[in-house]
Amino acid sequence: MQEAFLKAMHAWKFDIPQNPAAWLMQTARNKAIDIVRRQQYYKQYSGEVARQLLSETENTIEQFFSENEISDSQLRMIFACCHPQLKLEDRIALTLKTVSGFGVAEIARALVTNDAAIQKRLYRAKQFIKENDVQFEIPAGEELKQRLETVYTILYLLFNEGYNSLKADELIRKDVCAEAMRLAYILSQNKAGKQPATYALLALMCLQASRFESRLDAENSIILLQHQDRSKWDKELIQMGYHYLNLSSKGDVMSVYHIESAIAAEYALAASFASTDWQRLLQLYELLLDIKRTPVVILNRAVVLSRAGETNRAVSEVLAIDNIDVLLQNQYIYSAVLGDLYLTKGDYVNAQKYLKLSLQLTPSEAEKKLLKDKLKSISAVII
């Protein structure tokens, strides 16, 4: 009803309906139906994803496609947009924009850059396509394998956006994560996609998604890992994660998804936060840094370093990240983590400084509430 009144404030400026009460009731009813349908979709779809991931039977629609083709239209479009003639960073940005519907800010965060750089990439990609008459045909057979790495990246970034969304009022977008998982599963059923890296990516998604119900409380406030109720972790998804992790062990190539899924599995294996094997996690992060030395990986490793009792070293490594000054001013997660590390050290002045900076940068209301609570606790100590 509140949303109906809000909508009336705008709509009635131009035309007041003949029966205002009926208009309000109908508008509220439509909104309620949308919400119920959405909730039912999430509940039903999460179950369907679980059953589909475990099922060995092929979907009926797949009968109309050969084993060398992709049966899903969304996944076919992703493969088509990952055109090898385009530069890697351009094809990723273009695919996220055109197929996944990402905004410039979402792409910039995913690729650890700024809005201006993404706009340039999109413009460059469009110009290249126009000037070189690039034909976006749906690939099949060996052409699919040539584009697999880029497709993995797209699905990985799609899941990440759902897991920690930029939307102000929705920290977790389960529908986006479910779509990424659905596409990864369909890929794993295709002849070209039956690769260890595909299974590793699926394992990572399952293990991360298993914690959805414990990450937010009833008031949409963030619950940090150390305070999460592990009984709410989805055991079925965790088992599926282990299943696909085992499948990924075949072959002699280790991808970033193998290591990241192993890291997620390490967290899932711990019976409690206190029993987490931080040294094992550090070893896995060392392996990950060898093949993926990005600011985000260094930042995540710094958190594990701090948990392992090396907070001073963790702070130093964050401050040593390339272009850290720019990242601190543009992406909230870097200042948020740095603020937390200083808080762990007991350096309340720097903790307050960086947490305030992070508060200014994040669009998420849930993140803002968490940061405000931390700042309030620091103010009480300083006073």
User: What is the CATH classification number for the domain harbouring 319?
Assistant: 1.25.40.10
pLDDT in tens, 229-252: 999 999 999 999 999 999 999 878
- Over residues 44-52, the mean pLDDT reads 53
pTM of the shown model: 0.78
Q: CA angle, 43 as apex, 42 and 46 as ends, to 5°?
A: 75
- For residue 66, the tally of other CB atoms under 10 A from its CB is 10
**How far apart (Å, rounded) are the C-alpha atoms in residues 115 and 107?**
8
- The answer to whether residue 104 sits within a structural domain is no
- Over residues 215-219, the mean pLDDT reads 90
* Most confident region among 18-22, 134-138, 260-264 by mean pLDDT: 260-264
As beta bridge partners, residue 149 has none
CB 280 within 8 A of CB 266: yes
Coil, strand, or helix at residue 370? helix
**How far apart (Å, rounded) are the C-alpha atoms in residues 3 and 10?**
11
Amino acid occupying residue 358: S
- The answer to whether residue 379 sits within a structural domain is yes
Residue 30 has pLDDT above 80, yes or no: no
Give the residue, 229 or 18, on which the prediction is more confident: 229
Q: 60 pLDDT band (50/70/90 cuts)? A: very low
Weakest-pLDDT range from 28-32, 34-38, 161-165, 204-208: 34-38
Among 175, 218, 174, 169, residue whose Cα is nearest residue 366? 169
Q: Provide the number of structural domains found in the chain.
A: 1
Tell me the two tokens of residue 381. 């100590």
* C-alpha distance across the termini of the chain, in Å: 44
- Over residues 312-331, the mean pLDDT reads 94
What's the full length of the chain, in residues?
Answer: 383
pLDDT at residue 44 in the model: 55
- The answer to whether residue 147 sits within a structural domain is no
CB 240 within 8 A of CB 189: no
pLDDT at residue 25 in the model: 80
- The answer to whether residue 345 sits within a structural domain is yes
pLDDT at residue 69 in the model: 53
Among 333, 347, 253, 350, residue whose Cα is nearest residue 294? 333
Q: What percent of the chain has pLDDT over 70?
A: 86
pLDDT at residue 66 in the model: 44
Q: What percent of the chain has pLDDT over 90?
A: 51
pLDDT at residue 319 in the model: 97
Give the residue, 49 or 182, on which the prediction is more confident: 182
Residue 53 has pLDDT above 80, yes or no: no
Residue 59 has pLDDT above 50, yes or no: no
Hunting for tokens 């002045």 — which residue is that? 349
Weakest-pLDDT range from 141-145, 302-306, 316-320: 141-145
- The answer to whether residue 214 sits within a structural domain is no
- Over residues 271-300, the mean pLDDT reads 95
- Over residues 139-145, the mean pLDDT reads 78
Q: What is the dihedral of CA 243, 270, 268, 256, to 10 degrees?
A: -80
Coil, strand, or helix at residue 216? strand
Work out whether the CA dihedral 94, 100, 101, 102 comes out positive or negative. negative
Domain that holds residue 318: 295-383
- For residue 145, the tally of other CB atoms under 10 A from its CB is 13
Q: 6 pLDDT band (50/70/90 cuts)? A: low
Among 116, 362, 97, residue whose Cα is nearest residue 337? 362
Residue 56 has pLDDT above 50, yes or no: no
- Over residues 290-307, the mean pLDDT reads 95
Residue 76 has pLDDT above 90, yes or no: no
Q: 300 pLDDT band (50/70/90 cuts)? A: very high
Among 55, 381, 383, 368, residue whose Cα is nearest residue 222? 368
- For residue 88, the tally of other CB atoms under 10 A from its CB is 12
H-state helical runs in the chain: 2-11, 20-54, 73-81, 88-98, 104-110, 115-132, 142-146, 148-163, 174-189, 196-209, 235-247, 256-269, 278-291, 295-307, 311-319, 324-330, 332-345, 348-361, 365-382
- Over residues 361-371, the mean pLDDT reads 92
- The answer to whether residue 99 sits within a structural domain is no
- The answer to whether residue 90 sits within a structural domain is no
Residue 61 has pLDDT above 90, yes or no: no
pLDDT at residue 167 in the model: 75
